Amino acid sequence: YTGSTDLFIYPGYGFRVVDAMITNFHLPRSTLLMLVSAFAGRDLIFQAYQQAIEERYRFFSFGDAMLLA
């Protein structure tokens, strides 16, 4: 399938197919951070980020990854 969409996923979005996601730690205020917050919940994501900071994980494109399930 090819084409465009006007779909914008943000917290409150109801996922119907996806039940897990592998992603890295994204920039603050980014649309990718909104996506993972929509998937796992804002509070859980911010807890994960706090732990990542404390453990000195690497962030952004060449950093560490996390499994959201």
Tell me what the mean pLDDT of segment 13-18 comes to: 93
pLDDT-based confidence at 31, cuts 50/70/90?
very high
pTM here?
0.82
pLDDT-based confidence at 43, cuts 50/70/90?
very high
> With 90 as the cut, is the pLDDT of residue 60 above it?
no
Residue environment code for 9-41, b if the CB has 16+ CB neighbours within 10 A, otherwise e: eeeeeeeeeeeeeebbbbeeeeeebbbbbbbbe
